[in-house]
Structure 1
Amino acid sequence: MDPIIDWQISRHDIKSRGQYLLETGKWADCHFLVGQEPNHQMLAGHKLILAMASPVFEAMFYGGLAEKNDPIPILDLDPSAFKSLLEYIYTDKISINSVDKACELCYGAKKYMLPHVVEQCITFLWSDLCPKNVCRAYEFAKLFEEPRLMEKCLQIMCTKSMDVIQDSSFEDVELSTIVTILDQDVLNIDSELNLFWAINKYAEKHGLCASRNHETSQSSSEHEPVASPQSPLNLDVEASSSNDQSNNQNIIGNNEHVGPAVVIANAGRQQELPTIRDAIRRIRFLSLSPQQFADGPARTNLLTQSEAFAILMNISTSNSCYPMPEGFTTNKNPRNAFTDSSPPSPIPGPSGNLAPMALRPGTTTSGLFPQHVPPPQPAPLPTKTVPAPAPAPVPSTHSDDTENPYYLEEMRNNDSNYDRKYYCRRIMRQQTECLNTSVLDCSLTFIVDRSVCITGIEVPTQVQGSTIVGNDRYSELLYAHLLDAHGSRLTYTHCNQRVQYNSMLEISFDRPVFIQRHKMYKIGVVFNKVGWYPVSQSVTKVNCDNVGFTFCVGSQSESVRDGLIRTIVFTYTRDGISYT
């Protein structure tokens, strides 16, 4: 018996047979060129096995617009991460040994719609969080909209702040993450000087300056900066700001080949990126003593001479005639509020509910950390009362809850409007087009002024290009979900069907969800089909049959990609039931 020919005999399960096919490439009918030059690799695959695991691969190989190229270029994934995806598809094995590997693998799993791999990546990150990698994990959770992981990362940043900002990994985080840390009211630090020197070192590492500031150049020879724990350099504040802007322009310029709509979208997103100045303005200089400020921050070029003088005058006296520099915080409260040795209660794993923070006397939880509230008043003397009738149960909107059968049945029996759909269509402005080269995601926050039941949404289909002749349909592939204000998923749906170009596609969630008035919710959609989509900005308020919708809640600026969610489909709750 030839062991090479009869390799199946010695392999007793499908996993080991799949491993053999993956390792040898036997019977491979497709190939992938993965990664960027010069480190790209050629990997073999089997269309049927890949399509069995992923609806994206199914559409790629057996859809209406099946992939004709071989090899198939995959430039946005690291070869090792794509190998791990293939290993899972062929053998059910998931190998994760680092935060970077988890982030890269999760990106690929989201792209090819492998939810079990995503869950395993989140679980690994959850269990492996520490000050060294928490900023990286936070940025990952923010990018992929994992709110519970974001909240736990933020808790570690706040409770172990000194370890986080003093670790070498802090020099490589995004400026937006630094700004997020500086926006917290409670940090486990000795003083604001810890934050200031960490930002100074970050600016030094990234070379955000080009020359010395003209306001301090004359005096620098007379007064040498006082050495700090991080040995800060003198940095040119104005040059830093201009460098940030030029970097934004370079990023936009590099995207010219993908079409004007993408450049517009990227330009809007890049303009929102924070600069080193945004971080400096959040330092609570007024919580320092005059001596601390004069011996440290005032002698660096992170502040101009006029800014340093104005801040020092405001520290020295509460009635200073010099206003604080524009944009700088006037908060005088120190952040180091961890006065006891016991940290807040840990947050449970990704499948559990968020636990409340541990409370000290005279505090209550608001957001992540305790805030002071007045002491409790003495309880009133007992009086004779008549018991009030028990209120009707309110349906829960938590992601772990199922539909409330009582209300569903009552609505079906008593409300003639239950089965009638209403379409809250957003009013679009100046429509343009956006090219989806791989994965196109969008999200939309909203509130309503009357409790309703959300059943689905409408999204636009692709714009038919001039190169497509004789075919007015294509295979759409997308994922949509509805989240509550805490980021918990309430419902979701997948869509994989043939649709017409230049039309509207209505997709229904797996189950209808009751949403309460005056509470924020978020709809997210991920398109996985390459092509051009119509995008646009829209008005923020729409009334639909006595229900007022307010969109883009909590967003300082609107993205044109929000226009990919055109309509919210809903039904009414039964009259007489109030969800407050």
Structure 2
Amino acid sequence: MLKNEVYCDISFRVGEEEKLVRAHKYVLASRSPVFDAMFYGDLPEAKEITIPDIEPPSFDVLLRFLYCGDVEVHNDTVIGALYAAEKYDVGALKEATESYLDKNITNETVFSVFANAKLFGLEALSKKCIEFINEKGAYVFQSQFALQISKDTLKEILSSENLDIEELRVYHFLISWGEGQCEVKGYEKSDENIRNQIGDAVYRVRFQFMDLDMFVKNVCRRNILTSDDKLILQQVIAGNMEKESTKFNLGKRKPALKTCNGLRSGSHFESWRYHDHKRRRQDRHTVPYWMQH
């Protein structure tokens, strides 16, 4: 019925290209309270609705789910589908996309999954991402996507008490992140500009756990830190100053027990199919297709 556009009574202009998509009001309204209000509320929408904030492939995922409860998601549609599910209050589709993301946390994807989990308020998924990052910090920070995270995400991750990574590697990653920000904004990659981009995130590096020789060779030769900061940290490392006297977080990290061994460490999302059994059999709970076989 959807594919052949038989008896369609509503049209959408979807995405930047304003692709024309036709559908049936009753089907959409029966599965989404937002569509129900749009079509049958006090102020019903016109017969053609523009949706610029969802691209056609993701909107297609939404429609297929509303019509048949059986949808296949991929890495290029899952975030758009999650957004569409949130926008139109389709709880089962939100669960399906969240489950897809949960099953596809890898070294390459974890930062992207984490950012979107935070955006959509998926607390359990956010926690799982943090656990994955904590355990595999030495690997996930090598991902090209790690350099694209926001400053707030950066600070949250570096503040973790359970991050399993050497502090020198944290410091070098922080510089690489700052260089990336300079490049995006068209700034010269000077130490001053890098520090301006890093800002107070630098205080999350536990410099105390570098030995003095390592600190001098790798930190003091650059001007990411101020002269006063370098002097204070050298005194802390040498044991001549109480660590509480600095604004740096110098508490010892305590990596947690390994909990993510079952998660893949590859670099690609996989295709994933979800089937809404509740759609067709009311006496069963809605569960992913793979749990039924």
Question: Smaller-chain TM-score range?
Answer: 0.7 to 0.9
Q: Shift of the alpha carbon at 1:60?
A: 0.4
Aligned partners of 1:104 and 1:92: how far apart in 2?
Answer: 17
Deviations 1:262-284 (A, max 9, x none): xxxxxxxxxxxxxx213111111
1:51 alignment counterpart: 29
2:168 alignment counterpart: 193
Q: Shift of the alpha carbon at 1:108?
A: 0.6
The residue type equivalent to 2:45 in the other structure is E
Q: CA 1:347–1:113 in structure 2 vs 1: closer, same or farther (change >3 Å)?
A: farther
Of the three residues 104, 109, 117, the one matched with 2:93 is: 117
Task: Tell me whether 1:84 sits opposite 2:4 in the alignment.
Answer: no
> What is the total number of aligned residue pairs between the two structures?
262
Q: Shift of the alpha carbon at 1:62?
A: 1.0
- Runs of 4 or more off by more than 4 Å in structure 1? 208-212, 345-348
Give unmatched runs, 5+ long, in structure 1: 1-17, 213-232, 242-275, 349-580
Deviates most, 150-159 or 310-319 = 310-319
Task: Tell me whether 1:240 sits opposite 2:196 in the alignment.
Answer: yes
2:43 alignment counterpart: 65
Secondary structure of the structure 2 residue equivalent to 1:43 = strand
Taking structure 2 as the reference length, the TM-score comes to 0.79
The residue type equivalent to 1:199 in the other structure is L
Of the three residues 192, 196, 199, the one matched with 1:277 is: 199
The residue type equivalent to 1:80 in the other structure is P
Of the three residues 129, 136, 154, the one matched with 2:112 is: 136
Greater relative contact order (Cα < 8 A, sep 6+): 2
2:19 alignment counterpart: 41
Q: Shift of the alpha carbon at 1:67?
A: 0.8
Q: Which structure has the larger Rg over C-alpha atoms?
A: 1
Secondary structure of the structure 1 residue equivalent to 2:22 = strand
Q: Shift of the alpha carbon at 1:168?
A: 1.0
Aligned partners of 2:250 and 2:5: how far apart in 1?
Answer: 64
Of the three residues 200, 204, 225, the one matched with 2:179 is: 204
Q: 2:182 touches 2:194 (CA, 8 Å); kept in 1?
A: no
Aligned partners of 1:166 and 1:336: how far apart in 2?
Answer: 21
2:269 alignment counterpart: none
Q: Shift of the alpha carbon at 1:206?
A: 1.7
Q: Shift of the alpha carbon at 1:337?
A: 4.3
Of the three residues 321, 343, 350, the one matched with 2:258 is: 343
Secondary structure of the structure 1 residue equivalent to 2:50 = strand
Give unmatched runs, 5+ long, in structure 2: 264-293
Taking structure 1 as the reference length, the TM-score comes to 0.42
Q: CA 1:237–1:286 in structure 2 vs 1: closer, same or farther (change >3 Å)?
A: farther
Q: Shift of the alpha carbon at 1:234?
A: 3.8
Could you say which structure has the higher strand fraction? 1
Aligned partners of 2:174 and 2:9: how far apart in 1?
Answer: 52
Name the % identity: 26
Aligned partners of 1:299 and 1:211: how far apart in 2?
Answer: 21
Aligned partners of 2:194 and 2:104: how far apart in 1?
Answer: 39
Aligned partners of 1:313 and 1:93: how far apart in 2?
Answer: 62
Of the three residues 73, 80, 90, the one matched with 1:96 is: 73
Aligned partners of 1:277 and 1:207: how far apart in 2?
Answer: 13
Deviations 1:427-473 (A, max 9, x none): xxxxxxxxxxxxxxxxxxxxxxxxxxxxxxxxxxxxxxxxxxxxxxx
Q: Shift of the alpha carbon at 1:300?
A: 2.6
Aligned partners of 1:90 and 1:24: how far apart in 2?
Answer: 13
The residue type equivalent to 1:294 in the other structure is V
Q: 2:13 touches 2:21 (CA, 8 Å); kept in 1?
A: yes
Deviations 1:168-220 (A, max 9, x none): 1101122222212111112221x2011111111111112178777xxxxxxxx
Deviations 1:93-146 (A, max 9, x none): 211122x53222111111111111111111111111112111211222222222
Q: Shift of the alpha carbon at 1:26?
A: 3.3
User: For residues 259-278 of structure 1, what are the structure 2 equivalents within 5 Å?
Assistant: 276-278=198-200
Q: Shift of the alpha carbon at 1:91?
A: 2.7
Task: Tell me whether 1:24 sits opposite 2:23 in the alignment.
Answer: no
Q: 1:234 touches 1:300 (CA, 8 Å); kept in 2?
A: no
Q: 2:29 touches 2:35 (CA, 8 Å); kept in 1?
A: yes
Q: 1:237 touches 1:303 (CA, 8 Å); kept in 2?
A: no
Aligned partners of 1:345 and 1:238: how far apart in 2?
Answer: 33
Q: CA 1:159–1:175 in structure 2 vs 1: closer, same or farther (change >3 Å)?
A: same
Aligned partners of 2:25 and 2:187: how far apart in 1?
Answer: 57
1:169 alignment counterpart: 145
